[in-house]
């Protein structure tokens, strides 16, 4: 799996969970400021991503996630994704 494939899957999940059009989601989109997520949305989003990619996001990682790119990077590290 490549970073682009991870990003495409992440965009789909974010779109479904936050009700945002996929074309409005970029790697530098801020989850709260640009996409309107609140703390409950973020928890729901992390759970959906964990299910989709079959890995666990540690609590410390969640605190450091503010953009879509942060999510893609965390997933990439967890899965050993290639560029």
Active site residues: 38
- Report in angstroms the alpha-carbon separations of 82 from 5, 9, 30, 37, 46: 10, 15, 24, 28, 22
Q: Which two tokens stand for residue 65?
A: 């996630």
């Amino acid at each position: 799996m490549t970073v682009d494939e991870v990003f495409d899957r992440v965009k789909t999940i974010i779109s479904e969970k936050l009700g945002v059009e996929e074309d409005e989601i970029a790697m530098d989109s801020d989850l709260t400021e640009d996409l309107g997520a609140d703390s409950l949305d973020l928890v729901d989003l992390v759970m959906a991503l964990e299910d989709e990619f079959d890995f666990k996001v540690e609590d410390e990682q969640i605190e450091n996630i503010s953009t879509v790119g942060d999510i893609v990077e965390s997933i990439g590290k967890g899965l050993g994704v290639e560029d």
